[in-house]
């Protein structure tokens, strides 16, 4: 085969493919748009893939069994659309960056459990008076006045005991100092 024959056959194939696009492109696109649930990009990609298949199988386009190549092209397009839909359903859905940026961060339960044990052990090192104040104010959620009423001590004493209890916890739990302010 000479270079001139190769160029001529390639040019002829390109012209035939362009003719297929002009003659059958619109009906192919309409079918694939319906099969793609209105996704124009996907429909255009499937039209292109259908024409690539036609280019790869020129013998099917020249068969004497039918008057038009449109039924063959529509069948190929339909099968490609079905394959594409099955492939999408087989894969998990893709997640965009915007979704990840807005996703709620879940704390590690193991880390939370370790922190709870650390704080529990640290609270055991406090004097009973300091421990009672912390339990009332921080664990039971009582106000200074409510803690004073429950413990039977003045509100000023509740404040000072809470201050010194937290200060003692900062010394025992140096890694948690920022959380205890």
- pLDDT, tens only, 108-143: 678 878 888 888 888 889 999 999 999 999 888 999
Report if residue 100 sits inside a domain.
no
Residues 143 and 75 in one domain: no
pTM of this prediction exceeds 0.75: no
Report if residue 71 sits inside a domain.
yes
Report if residue 70 sits inside a domain.
yes
Which CATH number is 58's domain given? 1.10.1740.10
User: How many domains, the chain?
Assistant: 2
State how far the alpha carbon of 6 is from the alpha carbons of 57, 62, 114, in Å: 18, 20, 75
The pLDDT, as a whole number, for residue 117 is 87
DSSP SS3 for 111: helix
CA distance 145 to 109: 34
The pLDDT, as a whole number, for residue 165 is 92
Structure tokens at 103: 């996703």
């Amino acid at each position: 085969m000479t270079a001139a024959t190769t160029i001529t056959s390639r040019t002829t194939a390109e012209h035939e493919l362009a003719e297929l696009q002009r003659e059958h492109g619109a009906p192919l696109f309409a079918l694939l748009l319906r099969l793609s649930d209105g996704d124009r990009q996907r429909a255009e990609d499937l039209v292109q893939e259908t024409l690539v298949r036609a280019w790869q199988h020129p013998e099917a386009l020249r068969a004497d069994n039918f008057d038009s190549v449109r039924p063959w092209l529509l069948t190929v397009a339909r099968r490609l659309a079905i394959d594409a839909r099955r492939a999408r359903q087989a894969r998990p859905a893709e997640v965009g960056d915007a979704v990840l940026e807005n996703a709620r961060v879940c704390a590690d339960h193991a880390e939370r459990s370790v922190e709870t044990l650390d704080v529990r052990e640290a609270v055991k090192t406090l004097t009973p008076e300091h421990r009672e104040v912390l339990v009332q104010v921080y664990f039971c959620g009582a106000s200074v006045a409510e803690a004073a009423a429950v413990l039977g001590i003045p509100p000023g004493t509740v404040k000072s005991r809470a201050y010194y209890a937290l200060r003692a916890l900062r010394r025992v739990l140096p890694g948690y100092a920022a959380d205890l302010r």
